[in-house]
Amino acid sequence: MTLSPIPKALSTFLKHNVNALLIGGQACILYGAAEFSRDIDIAVMVSAPNLDRLRMALDELGAKRTFVPDLSEDMLMRGHACHFRCQRADVNGLRVDILGFMRGLDPFPELWERREEIELPEIGKIAVMSLPDLVKAKKTQRDKDWPMIRRLIEADFLRCRADPTRKQIRFWLRECRTPALLIDLAKQYANDCRTLLAQRPLLKAAREADISALEAALAQEENMERQADRNYWAPLRAELTRWRREKRAR
C-alpha cells in the first residue's frame, strides 16, 4: 500500500461503516504479491442500509459515476460492476470499482465471515478478502491475473512454510500454479495430495514429477477458467452495450 489517495478513500469507507472487502490489486499488495494499482476495488454487502452508507461515503469523496450502470441492488446482484471517479481534492482522479457478486465466489456474507482484518498506519483495521477467495476472484480472462495468482501462492508459501496448517497445505495443493513448487508440495505432503486428486486431477502429474504433463494441465486449467469467465461476462457486456446505445440516443 503506497502513500497515495487510497488510504484517504479507505478511511472514508470506514468512517461511514460500509460493509466492504478490499479486493483487486490493493489486496494483492497486502498479501505480499506486489501489483501496480492506483484504483480501489471493493466487494460490498448488497443491502439497502449498506448501499445508503456507501453512497454517503462516495458523496464525501466527491465520487461521480463514470460508466453505466447505476449503483443499485439489482445491478450489483446481477453481477455488474459500478464505476466511480473521485473528485475531492485529496483523492482527485482515484477510481473506485464496486462489486456485489463475483463469478465462482460465495455470497458476500460468507466472504465476510472469512475476511482478514489488516492494520494499516493512520487508518486502522480494514477488511480484506481472504486469500483463498481472492485467488478465486483472480481467475478471469485477463492476462495479468494469472501471474498474480502464481505470485500470491508463492508469497503465502514463503511466509508460512515453516509451520503450515493443514488448511494452508491443502490450499497450496489446490491452487498452486508454479510447476516446480507444486511438484515439491506433492512430494512433501503426499497424503494430502492423494486426498485432493479427485478435486484437482493434475496433481497426478505433480506426484509423478512429470513437469511437461503438469505444465500442459495447468494451461488447460487456466484456459477453462478463462472461457468460463468470458461466458459469464458475455450477457452482462451485451447489456452494457445496449444501455450505452440507449443513453446516446436520448
Spatial contact of 22 and 10, defined as CB atoms under 8 Å apart: yes
Q: Which residue has the cell 512429470?
A: 210
Q: What pLDDT, on the 0 to 100 scale, is given for residue 245? A: 86
Q: What pLDDT, on the 0 to 100 scale, is given for residue 37? A: 67
Q: What pLDDT, on the 0 to 100 scale, is given for residue 197? A: 97
Give the whole-angstrom CA distance, residue 176 versus residue 182. Answer: 6
In this structure, what DSSP letter does residue 88 have?
S
Q: What pLDDT, on the 0 to 100 scale, is given for residue 68? A: 82
Q: How many CB atoms lie within 10 A of CB 163?
A: 6
In this structure, what DSSP letter does residue 41 have?
E
Q: Quick one: CA dihedral 202, 203, 208, 214, positive or negative?
A: positive
Profile the chain (250 residues) by mean pLDDT over runs of 10 residues: 76 96 94 79 97 98 92 95 95 95 96 96 92 97 96 96 97 98 98 97 98 98 98 94 82
Cell triple for residue 21?
A: 472487502
Domains of the chain: 5-136 (3.30.460.40), 145-230 (no CATH)
Burial 167-187 (b: 16+ CB within 10 A, else e): ebbbbbbebbbbbebbbebbe
- Stated pTM of the model: 0.93
Cell triple for residue 64?
A: 461521480
Of 215, 176, 217, which Cα lies nearest the Cα of 193? 176
HSE at residue 7, side-chain half, CA atoms within 13 A, is: 13
Give the whole-angstrom CA distance, residue 75 versus residue 68. Answer: 10
Give the whole-angstrom CA distance, residue 74 versus residue 166. Answer: 39
* Terminal alpha carbon distance of the chain: 42
